[in-house]
Amino acid sequence: MRYVCSPLSVPAGLSAIRGIVFDCDGVLVDSRDANRMYYNLIRERMGLLSMTPEEEDYVHAHSVTLSLARIIPADRLEEAHAIRGHFDYRDIMPYVYLEPGLREFLVFLRHKNVRLGILTNRTTTMELVLETFDLSLFFSPVVTAGRISHPKPCPEGLHRILSAWELSKSQVAYIGDTALDERAARAAGVPFWAYKNPALLAAMHIPDYDSLRQCLQKVLPDPGA
């Protein structure tokens, strides 16, 4: 049964949540246009055609290393990485948009003393995203693909966050929007909440952050209660 979060019907298990881990792209920010532009610019400078829709889906979810390996011929990867090294991702940031209702949701969670973390397959640009939208103080730890041995769908990043928080698996949820996120949560044994992607197998589906905030408002205790 697919459960869509709603303040009218709240699962009892939500009251146990003490920490929430967020993916970045497609969850904190809408960056599909920016990612498309970034990788197509690399391909353009190499005289290659734009990505296919399937390739666009792939680079949305995977690390830059795996993404370039997927969309660039193997014998030209060194060239692609050299071109990438001359890009300033700040030029792409105007095409990255904060998800509606996110900031209000984060403020609500902080008031409820819910811990907030990030697990993303971004590598070197996560801090720039947080700085651009003034979100840095909300999240700890922030685990990127560059800080672990194996990126998603490996559960290593989630295990590291669970250890840092000293919380059990049932006390933490992971919000993602791709099959990689779903698989990482399943491998780590934590509840998976799918954001704006009803095709995923999830403990809860989230249509928007306002709905999730109203849902959790029903069950999360107030500080000191």
Mean pLDDT on 21-43: 96
Do 84 and 178 lie in one domain? The reply is: no
**What pLDDT does 84 receive?**
92
What is the per-residue pLDDT across 113-145, written as a single tens digit (0 to 9) for each? 999 999 999 988 999 999 999 999 999 999 999
Do 123 and 63 lie in one domain? The reply is: no
Domain span holding position 36 = 32-94
DSSP output for 72-133: S-GGGHHHHHHHHHT--GGGTGGG-EEPTTHHHHHHHHHHTT-EEEEE-S--SSHHHHHHHT
Residue 1 lies in a domain: no
pLDDT at 155 over 80: yes
- Domain count within the chain: 2
**What's the rounded Cα separation, in Å, for the pair 116 and 18?**
9
Residue 101 lies in a domain: yes
Place of tokens 């792209």: 25
Tell me the pTM: 0.92
Question: Residues of the chain with pLDDT > 70: what percent?
Answer: 97
For residue 209, what is the domain's CATH number? Answer: 3.40.50.1000
**What pLDDT does 224 receive?**
65
Do 90 and 182 lie in one domain? The reply is: no
Residue 5 lies in a domain: no
